[in-house]
Structure formats: structure tokens, C-alpha cells
Structure 1
Amino acid sequence: MPAPTPPPGHGPRPSAPRIAPLPVEEMDDFQAELMGLVGLDTPTINIFATLVRHPGLFNKWLPFGGKLLAGKLPARDRELLVLRTGWRCGSEYEWAQHVLVGRLAGLADAEIARVADGPDADGWDPFDALLLRAADELHEDHCLTDATWAALAERYDDKQMVEVPMVVGHYHLVSMTLNSLGVPLEDGAPRWPGP
């Protein structure tokens, strides 16, 4: 598979894994136990099979990521934040996984593709555009502006307001890791939206 082409403004990504996913038959008992905690039907999701090579870290990271996926933000809102973060970080693997999660959270394929065009693209509901703008502000300046904070706080409570930068920050960490390790897309995974 050729190296994924990141969105404009990003350098090339590895064309092959720098650390390959760990085959199931090579996992020790602790790694296999950790993979069981993922709760998926298949142990071959490449992000998990790669990160489990560092079982101590994986063991601490998994509950944190899981808490954000089952947090206080509405799932659709969270997925808009995650998709925009994956796009801005040039992480096709992150994008691909959250296209699937975003669909389950109620995002239409046209909305998912429009995430790449950003908050000023035609067709966004004002609050959806606000979420994309929040992800962009956190990406660019690592802080929400007063205007964005105030607009989000009209709908969200304190717990949700804490989660907004935590979600974006977490998926920056994940995107950087996926990009740097060269975690490969699964066969048939969604790809970047077309031009």
C-alpha cells in the first residue's frame, strides 16, 4: 500500500510500519488479556495491536481513551471534534477509524467529508461549525478563544466544557503516535475524502 497522502500543509508519512502490529500468536498472556479489554470482535485492529507492544502504557491509556469515548459530550459532537483533529493532524488512520465511529454516532457521509473543508464550509449547522472551530483553535493556538468558550458554554455544562479540550488533546496525542509509528490502515478502511 502506498504511503497515505496527508492534507495540505503536512509532510510525508511513513510508507510502511515503523513498529508493526503485534501478531496475536506472538502476544504474551498480559498482552492478550489487554487486547481482550478492547472489547472488539477482532484482535487485529492495528492501533491496538501496535500499542500493546508497550503493555504497561497501553494498560493505562486504554481506560482514559475509553472514558472519553463514553464521556459527557454527545457522541456526534465528540466525533466532529475527533474527525477535525485527525484531519488537522494529517492522520489518515485516525480519520478512517472515526469515519466508522462517526457514522454510528449519526454523522452522514456528506457531513464527514465536509469536515475536511472546515467550519466555514457551506451547509454546517451553526453549532457543528462551532465544534470544528473549537478543534481548529485548539490545534492552532492550544486554547479556546473567549467567544468560542462562551458559545459552547451556552449548551454545555462544566463537565462537557472540560471534555472539549481533553478530547481534542487526546486525539492529537493519538494522531501523532499513529503518524510517527506508521500504523497501517486495515484493508477496506475509509480513506481521505476526495478533492
Structure 2
Amino acid sequence: MSQRNEAAGQPGPRLMPLPEEQWDARTRELLAFAPHDPGNRVPNIFTTLVRHPDLYERFLPFGGQLLLKGRLPEELRELLILRTAWNTGARYEWGRHVPLARAAGVTDADIDRVTEGPDTPGWTDLQRHLIRAADELNREATMSDATWEALAEHFGDAELIEIAMLVGQYHMLAFFLNATGVELDPGFDTRRL
């Protein structure tokens, strides 16, 4: 992962977050619904994405559905997001989701294992299949029959759809974050990357 980021050679953001003094009435309205960090700070992902207000307005409900109202247990959702962040070299995504993963019950040992892959000892069978699904979706844009069937033993149709959509959505976010160079917000780190 670090080789990918180093190869990009970006010294800083290609697009800066939109400064508050440039927020018009619509921007203020859109950002009012964004999750805020302590101190009421709006995270860089949102203040950068809002430079395209129409896209931002459509993105937030979709992303929120997957993150806050999805059917997957929080712990499993965060494992999928972290593996996607690892696979795509998305430092921002990783840095923001490690604390969310911990809050959802993901252990530091599991976070370390995310960086090593599905065949690393210590995973449950379900966790192994989910990490493998994230890897296959990243590489092949699909899941193998074996992975699909293994997950289908644990999940119904809606959850299987959500797994693919979750990985795809965080893959898309990684493209945006990496291409624009969104910087990680204060108080978050990427030490494991």
C-alpha cells in the first residue's frame, strides 16, 4: 500500500477543502447534514466533495445508508471498509475508519490482520470469506463462486448485495480521495499503512 501512495508523489491536496468563507447558502445547508468532528469541524472529505454540490447532495444519503443504516453488523462492515482502504491505498479512508472499527468491536489484532489478507491465521471463517470477497472485488470486480457460496451460508440476498455495494462504494471513495489528495483530518493517523 505505501508503495502506491509513494508512487503518486503528491506533496499535498490537488483540491483543497472549500474554505468556510467561500460557503454559499446551499453549501452551508448541504454541510449542515454532514457528520461533524469534535469542535464542530466538518471533515475534509465533505468540504472537498461539496465543490460539486449536486453530486454531494446525492452521495451523502447513499453513503449514509451503507454506513449507518446497512444490514451488515458494524464489525463486519468495518472489516470490509478497512480491507478496501488497504487494497486501494486510501490513507484517508483507513485513518477515518480505524477508530470506527475499534468502536464497533474490531480488535487491534484484527486491524493488523486486515493488512495481511484472508489467509492469515486468526480469522474466523466468516471474516476470512469477507476479506477474500473484498480482495476479489478489488481485483476482478466480482466474487468467485466459492466466496459467494460461503457468504450465502451466513447472509441473505440483501446482505450479499450490500457486501458488493459497500466494497464498491468505498472503492469509488478511494478513487476520489486518492485522486484529489484529500488530507486526513487532525486527530486521525495512518500509522499502520
Q: Same fold (TM over 0.5)?
A: yes
Q: 1:90 aligns to what?
A: 89
Residue 60 of structure 2 aligns with which residue?
62
Q: CA RMSD in A?
A: 1.5
Q: In the TM superposition, what whole-angstrom CA distance separates every residue of 1:163-188 from its partner, at most 9, and x where no partner exists? A: 01100100110001000000011123
Equivalent position of 1:32 in the other structure = 28
Q: Aligned equivalents of 2:63 and 2:185: distance in 1?
A: 20
Give the unaligned 5+ runs of structure 1.
1-5
Aligned residue identity for 1:49: T
Q: Which amino acid aligns with 2:41?
A: P
Under a length normalisation based on structure 2, what TM-score does the superposition of the two structures give? 0.92
Q: Aligned partners of 1:52, 1:140: CA distance in 2, in Å?
A: 30
Match of 1:20 in 2: 16
Determine which of 46, 49, 65 is the counterpart of 1:48. 46
**Residue 192 to residue 142, structure 1, CA distance change in 2 (3 Å):** farther
Deviation per residue, 1:52-108 (Å, 9 max, x gap) = 111110000000000111211111111111100010001110111111211121111
Cα displacement (A) at 1:129: 1.1
Q: CA deviation at 1:7?
A: 3.1
d(CA) in 2 for partners of 1:20 and 1:7? 22
Q: In structure 2, do the counterparts of structure 1 residues 98 and 13 end up closer, same or farther at CA, with 3 Å as the change threshold?
A: farther
C-alpha contact (below 8 Å) 2:31/2:42 kept by paired residues: no
Q: How many residues are aligned here?
A: 189
Q: Which consecutive residues of structure 2, in runs of 5 or more, have no partner in the other structure?
A: none
Judging by fraction of residues, say which structure has more helix: 2
Q: TM-score, normalised by structure 1?
A: 0.92
